[in-house]
Amino acid sequence: MPSEREMIAEVERRAQESVNALGALGSSATFLTLSFATTSGEAHVIPCSRWCVPIQYSGRPPGSSSKIRTLSDGYRILATLFMLLREYQPVTMGGISFLVLAFLGLIMIIAGWMRSSYYLFTGGVGLALLGAFILCTGVILHAINMANREGEEQRKKLARKNEEPGPTG
C-alpha cells in the first residue's frame, strides 16, 4: 500500500496531466485548486497556480455584437434566483423578506410617530404586516416541501420493496 506522500504525489501528477489535457483543448480554465483528505484524516489543499493554462484574450471581431442584454438578462437571473430560493429555501426567503420589510416598516412607524403623520404610521404597520405574512407563507411552503419530500421517499421505498422478489420456500 502506498504511503500518504506517494498518494499526494500521484494526485499532483494526475492533476498536472488533466491540466495539460485541458490546455491542449484550448480550455479557458486559469486556476485549479485541489482539496482532499487523506486516510489519516488530514486535509490537504494544493494551490495549483503553477498549473496555469495560457489564455489569449482578444477584442470582439468587427461587425459582431453582444447577445447580452443588461436589463432583461439581469431580470431573468434575479427571477430565477428568487424562484430557486422560494422552491428550495422558503423559510430563508420569508425570513429575509420579513427582516427587510419589518425594518422599513419600523422606520416608517417611528417617522410617522415623530411627525404625527397618520399616513407614514399606517404605511409602516402595513409593511410590517406584509413582512409577517411573507414569513408565515415561507413557513407553510417549507412544511409542504418537507411533506412532499417525505412522500417521495416513501414512494421510492415502496417501489423498491415491490421490486424485490419475495421469499421462496
Please give the pLDDT value at position 27.
47
pLDDT band at 161 (very low <50, low <70, confident <90, very high): confident
Q: What is the pLDDT of residue 102?
A: 93
Query: Are residues 96 and 142 part of one domain?
Result: yes
* Domain range for 40: 4-51
Task: Indicate whether 79 and 159 sit together in one domain.
Answer: yes
pTM of the model: 0.51
Same domain? 29 vs 82:
no
**Integer Cα distance of 124 and 110 in angstroms:** 8
Instruction: Indicate if 80 and 41 belong to the same structural domain.
Output: no
Q: How many domains does the chain have?
A: 2
Residue 94 lies in a domain: yes
For residue 89, give the 3-state DSSP assignment: coil
Three-class DSSP category at 136: helix
Strand, coil or helix: what is 40? coil
Q: Between 38 and 68, whose confidence is greater?
A: 68
Whether residues 103 and 133 fall in one domain: yes
Q: What is the pLDDT of residues 116-137, one digit of tens each?
A: 888 999 999 999 999 999 999 9
Instruction: Calculate what percentage of the chain has a pLDDT beyond 70.
Output: 74
Note the residue count of the chain. 169
The answer as to whether 151 is a domain residue is yes
Q: What mean pLDDT, rounded, does the chain reach?
A: 80
CA distances from 168 to 99, 134, 157, 160 (A): 61, 56, 21, 18
